[in-house]
Structure 1
Amino acid sequence: MKKAQSKKTRKAMLFSRGLIIIIGGFITAYGLEAVLIPNNVSDGGVTGLSIVGSQWTGLPLGILIAILNIPFIYLGYKQIGKSFAIFSILGIASLAISTSLMHHIPTIIEIEGDTLLVTVVGGIIIGFGMGLALRNGGALDGIDMLAVLLSRKLPFGTSDLILFLNLFVFIVVSTVFGLRGALMSGIAYYIASKVIHIIEEGLSSTKAVYIITEHADEMMKEIGDRLGRACTLQHVEGGYSKKEFKQIKCVITRLEESKMKETIQDIDATSFVTVYDVSEVRGGNFK
């Protein structure tokens, strides 16, 4: 009985994730067709190449998005797994179909001359849509997967390769939209990437705090009293001094960071503190 209920819950979760990814594709298509493309501004990645290809050949944007992403979907299947590939197919199909349906939708922002507002609004919209897809285990663009694969073969980081690949994309974009259009496309892509990060990580991101102190017991008690957070205690040894220390680890929200610093300062101002961003937290007293 419990196993059947668990299976039903899993199916419901997969369905909701798939639905959100479809909505993400729809939102991204709206940002492209109602904001960016009518104002001669493109996106980065495979979508940007598809926009250029559509302008060159006259083929529908949706068809090119679907065709050009096929090798990257296969790459995602081989490198990440079956579920990622299935969710990515769902997202890319949603994006491709939505762009076709919205091709003649009225432009919500149309400005002659200065297109900075267009890039900001368009970047926010497409970033929101892509972020929803990524947060739920899918993708709407395959160029990031290529960068991951190349980083394993070449002496460059993934972020460096993503930047390099998109520089190539924007050079291609400049052949259709001109240098100004390519620069605006780069700005829109940058804004979209920041919005994607916010959607993936959340506004109230969490942080892991590591504290090496000689007053570990008192520090943990105060953290519990002031912040209501539990701590983990580890015994560590100095690599050079060989002296033994106690290290406290505590996970807090971004809003609690200043209070944590105040607590550390009050108990042991000489303690050694490191703070790391945490992408996801489950269990404990975190909801």
Structure 2
Amino acid sequence: MNATPTTRDADLLPAPHTLLEDTQALTFGGVMAAFGLVMLTHLGFVTGQTAGLAVLISYVTGWSFGPIFFAVNLPFYWLGYKRIGLAFTLKTFVAVGLVSGLSMVMPAYVSFGDIHPALGAVLVGMISGAALLALFRHGASLGGIGILGLYLQDKTGFRAGWTQLIFDICLFSAAFLVRDPITVAWSALGALVLNLVIAINHRRDRYIAT
């Protein structure tokens, strides 16, 4: 059987993203992720993954979120390079750097009044989900535990999704030490909305990132 794609098959394959398209996606994803995080911290919420870890450290220490987020992602770039490749690692580094920088600059230009926590949780989840979709579809991420999960899956067979889930359970449990239970509950709603946005809209059988 001939495994070479036919002309018809080749016509159906998606064209690779151009440099301009990747730049637009990284910019959009970075800006929207930073905006979502500014709203999240205004509400006093927490979130999952390395962004959530950086938020918690920021709450406890009073340090700015941006440098913490950049620092906690540094150990994961080598794993990203080994597991996924150089292009992914470089794009992720740019995206993380953009979010870190914008999260420090944006509060000087954006302010919020009263936001009902239910609406805030939904908006944060939707905004952050849209940001991550743009990054995922252009071969980037916001680093962190997802990369570690893939690495451990390769080495041990332990599913990457379980690694992320265990980390987030520990993170939200720790959040009860620095946030009140109601705030943590609203934060969990935001995390649920974010994950629903990703689960429904980022399906490999419907979209192939190149």
- Do they superpose with TM above 0.5? yes
CA shift digits 1:149-182 (9 cap, x unpaired): 2233445322222111111111222222223222
One-letter code aligned to 1:156: F
Alignment of 1:35-50 (within 5 A): 35-50=39-54
Pick aligned residue for 2:84 from 80, 87, 93: 80
Q: Which residue pairs with 1:240 in the alignment?
A: none
One-letter code aligned to 2:205: V
Alignment of 1:57-136 (within 5 A): 57-104=61-108, 105-107=110-112, 110-111=115-116, 115-136=117-138
Q: Which residue pairs with 1:24 in the alignment?
A: 29
Contact 1:143–1:162, Cα closer than 8 Å, also in 2 = yes
SS in 2 for 1:181: helix
Contact 2:137–2:208, Cα closer than 8 Å, also in 1 = no
Q: Which residue pairs with 1:169 in the alignment?
A: 171
Contact 1:18–1:87, Cα closer than 8 Å, also in 2 = no
Contact 2:53–2:171, Cα closer than 8 Å, also in 1 = yes
Post-superposition offset of 1:186: 2.1
Q: Which runs of 4+ in 1 moved over 3 A?
A: 152-156, 279-282
Structure 1 unaligned segments of length 5 or more: list them.
1-8, 202-276, 283-287
Give the distance between the partners of 2:79 and 2:56, measured in 1 at CA.
23
Post-superposition offset of 1:69: 0.6
Give the distance between the partners of 2:18 and 2:76, measured in 1 at CA.
25
Write 1 or 2 for the structure with the bigger share of helix.
2
Higher relative contact order (CA 8 A, sep 6+): 2
Contact 2:73–2:144, Cα closer than 8 Å, also in 1 = yes
Contact 2:77–2:143, Cα closer than 8 Å, also in 1 = no
Q: Percent identity?
A: 24
Contact 1:49–1:173, Cα closer than 8 Å, also in 2 = no
1:278 equivalent to 2:205? Answer: yes
Query: Kindly tell me: are residues 194 and 41 of structure 1, through their superposed partners in 2, closer, same or farther at Cα, counting changes over 3 Å?
Result: same
Give the distance between the partners of 1:49 and 1:281, measured in 2 at CA.
30
Give the distance between the partners of 1:108 and 1:143, measured in 2 at CA.
33
Give the distance between the partners of 2:201 and 2:208, measured in 1 at CA.
15
Q: Which residue pairs with 1:211 in the alignment?
A: none
One-letter code aligned to 1:168: C
TM-score by structure 2 length? 0.83
Write 1 or 2 for the structure with the bigger share of strand.
1
Query: Kindly tell me: are residues 120 and 77 of structure 1, through their superposed partners in 2, closer, same or farther at Cα, counting changes over 3 Å?
Result: same
Say how many residue pairs are matched: 194
Pick aligned residue for 1:146 from 148, 163, 172: 148
One-letter code aligned to 2:147: M
